[in-house]
Amino acid sequence: MRAEIITIGDELLIGQVVDTNSAWIAEQLNAYGIELYQITSVHDSREHIIAALDEAFGRADIVLTTGGLGPTKDDITKHVLCEYFGTHLIKDQRVRAHIEQLYKDRPDVLNRLTATQWLVPANAEILENRVGSAPLMVFHKEQKILASMPGVPYEMKIAMEEQILPYIGRTTVNILHKIVQVTGIAESSLAILLDEYEASMPSTLHLAYLPKDGIIRLRLSSYGELSESEMQTWFDRLKDLTKDYLLTDTDEPLEVIVGRLLQAKGATISTAESCTGGKLGVLLNKHPGSSAFYNGTVVSYATSVKEQVLGVSAELINVHTVVSEEVARAMAEGVRKLMRTDFAIATTGIASATGGYTKDEVGTVWIAWATPEDTYAECFHLGKLRDQITDRACIKALIGLLKIINQKS
Amino acid sequence: MRAEIITIGDELLIGQVVDTNSAWIAEQLNAYGIELYQITSVHDSREHIIAALDEAFGRADIVLTTGGLGPTKDDITKHVLCEYFGTHLIKDQRVRAHIEQLYKDRPDVLNRLTATQWLVPANAEILENRVGSAPLMVFHKEQKILASMPGVPYEMKIAMEEQILPYIGRTTVNILHKIVQVTGIAESSLAILLDEYEASMPSTLHLAYLPKDGIIRLRLSSYGELSESEMQTWFDRLKDLTKDYLLTDTDEPLEVIVGRLLQAKGATISTAESCTGGKLGVLLNKHPGSSAFYNGTVVSYATSVKEQVLGVSAELINVHTVVSEEVARAMAEGVRKLMRTDFAIATTGIASATGGYTKDEVGTVWIAWATPEDTYAECFHLGKLRDQITDRACIKALIGLLKIINQKS
């Protein structure tokens, strides 16, 4: 079964908003055995929406739209869908009761515009939008369906999980994606290493290379043609061929793997961050349950914080400068002691040509790892763009920690 | 002049990657007076790419593609473009010299697959990809053009800024977007407040409402029909009508506004974060030059860190619990003293139903603001989803600081 997404809203087409909804929806659909064929972003324009609907129904069985369901004049999706499916709006008392309940403590919101939210297309099935006022609408067109959801990510996710996906139902198709993450090899060299493997693959199996921040994610995909065990055989061969560079055989983010490893050892971690500004700590604590292994972070942007909070000596900074092996080590050891953790990571580097640094120096980052036994440090050159440098530094910090823990155990 | 983007890659359609490129490209195009009409994401499939190219050329003058330019077998964009524009691949010695220079310290990368990167379509103009090996290709079709770029965001951005946009050139069309950000009013109530204003607007002017995390961004847009001064008149009226709720009359993120205000006052800030995990600090330090006003952050996930680093007394925590007004105040005052800053913000809240908290308690967040004169605190209920709660807490923290600073000055 094939689906398409149409995202509706001028904000997407002038760059005011990044479309994070589509990737999330795509993942859910695949898990239900539904292939997402195309994503199309269109303006809040009657003609544009209608053209996109016609094209999508020409290719897919399920069309999911997001956006354009607010109570204001710029949101026209509901009216266009009415026209497209040849119907008119009627009052829905269930939706009305829900909205009155939703805003029972906010009488100012129960105004005449909000009241337009309980007008729904006469021939649509209305599903409950538990957390918002825009109705979830399902339309039928021959054997095909269209589901319309709000564009607000939190509302859309609850709508998909609780209403739309159960409504559509799982197919019997087994879409399988299996992923290894490798590091320390160039994409082209990896492809040469896998040359014979790729040549021997059946045509129903696909291998994709996805390089980012020094990690290559290798993805094997099958759209229902292979059984789990056939897939597993091919995946095992892939793991074996890449074993010298293998980070993990899942698509989980590195911080999840690190967190699980720490938790299994009953170990804790803290970070001291200069150039990464707290991003490494945010990664480590972003998943529920992280308080089991993550104690905290000191972001030491000001030199005085390095000295007074982390206990790095002023002399060390004067002799070696803040971006140095010695200071990185002292920061890691300082935060490890301060937060009483088993492990600690410190970053100090140059993320932009400010504060007296030259363009050539930008991208230099020292990372240190303090452990119960020893402290390690390494210097990296991570590019020229601020976000690129700090994102890559976080990845390097996590890869380094993984290696240290794995070597020790 | 109209443009469209076609993003090519299975990874976008299975949800492995979020398309951040398109929003960035859209913004640049608008600044050049070029309207982005549609974004289409397609698979690494010959038929799918060709169909999308035909459709895009039917609507737009400029087609920009991203992705599918790596040296591995799954990347087919260059070959499909060759077929589409009726040409073949030839060796390009300039591209070859560039790639050999790029990898001069990495002989392992100069392999036979990387060598395929200097094969380029005979009838394409080749622009320099300064930071990567994939050639930037420009094709002509009657009066229209297609530019093909890599999908890696850092490479794509440099390609757009240095090569593609100067190649396309600015149009004389003045696409104008003006934005006010308001808070403390529901979207529907705001629309009622602006009813007459909207009714009196010329049809060439568009008003859009974009609510997120408690802020509504109101956007006035004109696609070349209005002069700057006409636009300004309408914008001034909008500001005046919304003045009771106005946060700012730019589209700048809140942290930029806060940073500028602090810098203007010569004041500094630090944060102590529990539930937000360092996100607030990352916001405050994410832009270059932030070290002028931002000293640092303590993320105090473990209670011991609240006590030993921030100096919150164990008794206070025992009596009031970690998520309380008293602890939030003590955290803010503690980090302000520790990092010797003028202002400090602290967050402590319940972001998930772990650690003995019930579902009902999830979403409760205490925020405190310490200033040279006084400390303020407020309790918020910010939803039920982890990311939603922490993102909203950061916004509330910044709005609160803005209000305090503005009241004092």
User: What is the token pair recorded at A137?
Assistant: 């609408």
Q: What is the pLDDT of residue B409?
A: 64
Please tell me whether residues A143 and A196 are part of one structural domain.
Answer: no
Spatial distance between the Cα atoms of A254 and A286, rounded to a whole number of angstroms: 12
Among residues A1, A189, A153, which one has the least CA distance to residue A66? A153
Spatial distance between the Cα atoms of A114 and A95, rounded to a whole number of angstroms: 11
Spatial distance between the Cα atoms of A254 and A137, rounded to a whole number of angstroms: 38
Spatial distance between the Cα atoms of B16 and B162, rounded to a whole number of angstroms: 29
Query: With b meaning 16 or more CB within 10 Å and e meaning fewer, what string describes B104-125?
Result: eeeeebbbebbbebbbbbeebe
Spatial distance between the Cα atoms of A317 and B32, rounded to a whole number of angstroms: 46
pLDDT, mean over chain B: 95
From the CB of residue A3, how many other CB atoms can be counted at a distance below 10 Å?
A: 25
User: What is the token pair recorded at A376?
Assistant: 């390690």
* Residues pairing with B248 in the sheet: B181
Spatial distance between the Cα atoms of A299 and A271, rounded to a whole number of angstroms: 8
Spatial distance between the Cα atoms of A20 and A204, rounded to a whole number of angstroms: 29
From the CB of residue A145, how many other CB atoms can be counted at a distance below 10 Å?
A: 18
CATH number for the domain spanning A128: value is 3.40.980.10
Model confidence at A13: pLDDT above 90: yes
From the list A40, A296, A302, the residue facing B299 with the nearest CB is A296
Collect all residues of chain A within an 8 Å Cβ-Cβ radius of residue B339: 302, 304-305, 309
Please tell me whether residues A199 and A123 are part of one structural domain.
Answer: no
Asked if A286's CB is within 8 angstroms of B296's CB, the reply is no
Among residues A1, A63, A66, which one has the least CA distance to residue A32? A1
Helix (H) or strand (E) holding A91: strand A89-91
From the CB of residue B215, how many other CB atoms can be counted at a distance below 10 Å?
A: 19
Asked if A278's CB is within 8 angstroms of B299's CB, the reply is yes
Model confidence at B101: pLDDT above 80: yes
Collect all residues of chain B within an 8 Å Cβ-Cβ radius of residue A27: 14-16
Spatial contact of B309 and A325, defined as CB atoms under 8 Å apart: no
Residue of B118, B305, B359 best to disrupt the A interface, most CBs of A under 10 A: B305
From the list A114, A189, A209, the residue facing B70 with the nearest CB is A209
Q: What does the pLDDT average to over B381-401? A: 93
Q: Tell me how close the Cα of B196 comes to any Cα of chain A, in angstroms.
A: 12
Spatial distance between the Cα atoms of B237 and B222, rounded to a whole number of angstroms: 16
Please tell me whether residues A162 and A220 are part of one structural domain.
Answer: no
Q: Which ranges of A142-277 would DSSP assign to H, the alpha helix? A: 153-159, 165-168, 187-193, 195-200, 228-241, 254-265
CATH number for the domain spanning B284: value is 3.90.950.20
Spatial distance between the Cα atoms of A76 and A92, rounded to a whole number of angstroms: 19
Spatial distance between the Cα atoms of B96 and B316, rounded to a whole number of angstroms: 68
Domain boundary (A225, A248, A271) is at A248
Chain A CA closest to residue B44: A208
Chain B CA closest to residue A36: B13
Collect all residues of chain B within an 8 Å Cβ-Cβ radius of residue A302: 268, 291, 295-296, 339
- Cα angle value B315/B319/B321 (rounded, 5°): 100
Long-range contacts: A286-291, Cβ < 8 Å, 24+?
A: A286/A255, A286/B277, A287/A255, A287/A256, A287/A259, A288/B351, A288/B352, A288/B354, A288/B386, A289/A259, A289/B354, A290/A259, A290/B301, A291/B301, A291/B302, A291/B354, A291/B355
Q: What is the pLDDT of residue A173?
A: 86
Among residues B196, B194, B177, B197, which one has the least CA distance to residue B185? B194
Please tell me whether residues B132 and B187 are part of one structural domain.
Answer: no
Kindly state the percentage of chain B with pLDDT values over 70.
100
Residue type, A154: Y
User: What is the token pair recorded at B189?
Assistant: 């109530």
Under DSSP, the state recorded for B95 is H
**Beta carbons within 8 Å of B220's beta carbon, 6+ residues apart:** B176, B177, B178, B179, B205, B206, B207, B231, B234, B235, B238
Chain A CA closest to residue B298: A298
Collect all residues of chain A within an 8 Å Cβ-Cβ radius of residue B44: 208
Please tell me whether residues A316 and A370 are part of one structural domain.
Answer: yes
**Beta carbons within 8 Å of B258's beta carbon, 6+ residues apart:** B284, B398, B401, B402
Could you read off the pLDDT of B217-252 as tens digits, one per residue?
Answer: 999 999 888 999 999 999 999 999 999 999 999 999
Q: Tell me how close the Cα of B80 comes to any Cα of chain A, in angstroms.
A: 17
Collect all residues of chain A within an 8 Å Cβ-Cβ radius of residue B304: 295, 339-340
Asked if A221's CB is within 8 angstroms of B10's CB, the reply is yes
Model confidence at A408: pLDDT above 80: no
Asked if B112's CB is within 8 angstroms of A192's CB, the reply is yes
From the CB of residue B24, how many other CB atoms can be counted at a distance below 10 Å?
A: 16
Helix (H) or strand (E) holding B322: none
Asked if A108's CB is within 8 angstroms of B189's CB, the reply is yes
Please tell me whether residues B299 and B277 are part of one structural domain.
Answer: yes
Strand spans (E) along B283-390: 294-300, 343-349, 364-370, 375-381
Q: What is the pLDDT of residue A409?
A: 63
Q: What is the pLDDT of residue A205?
A: 95
Domain count for chain A: 3
Asked if B295's CB is within 8 angstroms of A302's CB, the reply is yes
Query: With b meaning 16 or more CB within 10 Å and e meaning fewer, what string describes B285-295?
Result: bbbeebbebbb
Asked if B339's CB is within 8 angstroms of A207's CB, the reply is no
Spatial distance between the Cα atoms of A82 and A88, rounded to a whole number of angstroms: 6
Could you read off the pLDDT of A295-326 as tens digits, one per residue?
Answer: 999 999 999 999 999 999 999 999 999 999 99
CATH number for the domain spanning A209: value is 3.30.70.2860
Spatial distance between the Cα atoms of A164 and A130, rounded to a whole number of angstroms: 12
Residue of A5, A64, A72 best to disrupt the B interface, most CBs of B under 10 A: A72
Please tell me whether residues A16 and A113 are part of one structural domain.
Answer: yes
User: What is the token pair recorded at A384?
Assistant: 């020229």
Model confidence at A36: pLDDT above 80: yes
- Cα angle value B13/A219/A240 (rounded, 5°): 175
Q: What does the pLDDT average to over B251-276? A: 96
Please tell me whether residues B259 and B158 are part of one structural domain.
Answer: no
Asked if A352's CB is within 8 angstroms of B12's CB, the reply is no
Among residues B348, B303, B272, B36, which one has the least CA distance to residue A309? B272
Asked if B14's CB is within 8 angstroms of A19's CB, the reply is no
Spatial distance between the Cα atoms of B330 and B296, rounded to a whole number of angstroms: 17
Q: Tell me how close the Cα of A373 comes to any Cα of chain B, in angstroms.
A: 23
Q: What is the ipTM of this complex?
A: 0.91
Please tell me whether residues A209 and A262 are part of one structural domain.
Answer: no
Chain A CA closest to residue B6: A40
- The distance in angstroms from the start CA to the end CA of chain B is 46
A18: Cα within 13 Å, side-chain hemisphere: 10
Chain B CA closest to residue A133: B188
Asked if B109's CB is within 8 angstroms of A189's CB, the reply is yes
Please tell me whether residues B29 and B149 are part of one structural domain.
Answer: yes
Q: What share of chain B is helix, strand, coil (3-state, %, to 5)?
A: 45, 25, 30
Q: Tell me how close the Cα of A237 comes to any Cα of chain B, in angstroms.
A: 19
Could you read off the pLDDT of A76-118 as tens digits, one per residue?
Answer: 999 999 999 999 999 999 999 999 999 998 888 999 999 999 9
Asked if A10's CB is within 8 angstroms of B221's CB, the reply is yes
Spatial contact of B297 and B373, defined as CB atoms under 8 Å apart: no
Chain B CA closest to residue A32: B14
Spatial distance between the Cα atoms of A331 and A76, rounded to a whole number of angstroms: 55
What torsion do the CA atoms of A382, A385, A390, A391 make, to the nearest 10 degrees? -90
Chain A CA closest to residue B76: A208
3-state secondary structure of A374: coil
Q: How confident is the model at residue B201 (pLDDT cuts 50, 70, 90)?
A: very high
Q: Which domain holds residue B285?
A: 254-408
Beta carbon pairs, A and B, within 8 Å: 306
Q: How confident is the model at residue A277 (pLDDT cuts 50, 70, 90)?
A: very high
From the list A154, A186, A299, the residue facing B388 with the nearest CB is A154
Could you read off the pLDDT of A347-401 as tens digits, one per residue?
Answer: 999 998 887 888 889 999 999 999 999 999 999 999 888 888 999 999 999 999 9
Under DSSP, the state recorded for A30 is H
Strands A269-273 and A294-300: parallel
Helix (H) or strand (E) holding A219: strand A215-223
- Cα angle value B105/B110/B113 (rounded, 5°): 150
Instruction: Report, in angstroms and rounded to the nearest whole number, the Rg of chain A calculated over CA atoms.
Output: 26
Asked if B302's CB is within 8 angstroms of A300's CB, the reply is no
Spatial distance between the Cα atoms of A373 and A378, rounded to a whole number of angstroms: 17
Under DSSP, the state recorded for A385 is S
Domain boundary (B206, B223, B248) is at B248
From the CB of residue B173, how many other CB atoms can be counted at a distance below 10 Å?
A: 15
Domain boundary (B168, B200, B225) is at B168
Please tell me whether residues A204 and A276 are part of one structural domain.
Answer: no
Asked if B55's CB is within 8 angstroms of A14's CB, the reply is no
Spatial contact of B369 and B329, defined as CB atoms under 8 Å apart: no
User: What is the token pair recorded at B405?
Assistant: 């600073």
User: What is the token pair recorded at A166?
Assistant: 């159960």
Residue of B6, B11, B34 best to disrupt the A interface, most CBs of A under 10 A: B11
Asked if B15's CB is within 8 angstroms of A18's CB, the reply is no
Residue of B30, B35, B41 best to disrupt the A interface, most CBs of A under 10 A: B41
Q: Tell me how close the Cα of B211 comes to any Cα of chain A, in angstroms.
A: 8
Q: What is the pLDDT of residue A325?
A: 98
Please tell me whether residues A263 and A366 are part of one structural domain.
Answer: yes
Q: What does the pLDDT average to over A40-65? A: 98
Q: How confident is the model at residue A7 (pLDDT cuts 50, 70, 90)?
A: very high
Spatial distance between the Cα atoms of A175 and B16, rounded to a whole number of angstroms: 14
